[in-house]
Structure 1
């Protein structure tokens, strides 16, 4: 079984994730909680980290099952084939996004373009390149995942 990336209609990620799990198809849609302010109230809502994308784990022969779900647009393709994501990358993503690996801290003495090593958490001993530095956050490019991640990390080792 391989992990694939589904492209969805905008703001349909959680509906599709629910429909996939109801069909007993293994799926992953990482979310975070955001507080939205209206004129009369505040509300916590769950938003996906990856807009218009859901990860799904299927056999090659079962890939067409997802197109019976409203809101699924297509698979993401790479070099003419449905893009496969390694299970280790999905696991790393789960550990990082679902875990408690972020900590408050002020990043100092780092330079844009510098290679750093994460000293703790799910990304321990992984190297990343610093793309942008803020007072409490740093944007890292992780070549293993192929993503940019903005994180509040206390211990980076240059």
Structure 2
């Protein structure tokens, strides 16, 4: 049996949800992290689900399925690192799913944040999650780096829940 790995996939602009649904429709295992956001229009406000990382989703496939993913409407290309398709470690996908299930408010940034102290969360919904502490907008916040795709997720966490290592 072929080994399946998580690959980050770049989608066409604003096509993340359609590409995700098309992949699921083909029987391809995919993950699209979404968060609820209050949107303001000129005549109303509405809660909508938006992708956490614009133009990205993740597929868990074998190498033989890459062509099928690329032939999916809304999928643009795989991300490459050193000439090879980038692979996301299972641990990072698991941590991303943990973050999405947590009650914390999330912020995603492409900023190159300076590394700080390594920490692990010892209690709460994010128990076991590892990250870095940085000073950002004058608050201490937990950073979970997704280095494969060049993004960081910032989560507000109280100091009582974290432990340095």
Q: TM-score range by the shorter chain?
A: 0.7 to 0.9
1:50 is paired with a residue whose SS is coil
Q: Which residue of 2 aligns with 1:102?
A: 104
Q: Distance in 2 between matches of 1:70 and 1:113?
A: 38
TM-score by length of 1: 0.80
Structure number with larger C-alpha Rg? 1
TM-score by length of 2: 0.77
Instruction: Provide Cα deviations, 1:27-48, integer angstroms capped at 9, x if missing partner.
Output: 0000001111122211111100
- Aligned ranges for residues 52-91 of structure 1 at < 5 Å? 52-91=55-94
- The reply to whether residue 5 of structure 1 matches residue 8 of structure 2 is yes
Structure 2 gaps, min length 5: 106-113
Q: Which residue of 1 aligns with 2:155?
A: 151
Aligned match of 1:20 in 8, 18, 23? 23
Q: Distance in 1 between matches of 2:157 and 2:36?
A: 19
1:74 is paired with a residue whose SS is strand
Say what the alpha-carbon RMSD is for the aligned residues: 2.3
User: Bigger shift: 84-93 or 11-20?
Assistant: 84-93
1:86 Cα deviation (Å)?
A: 1.4
Q: How many residues align?
A: 146
Structure 1 gaps, min length 5: 104-111
Q: Distance in 2 between matches of 1:41 and 1:12?
A: 24
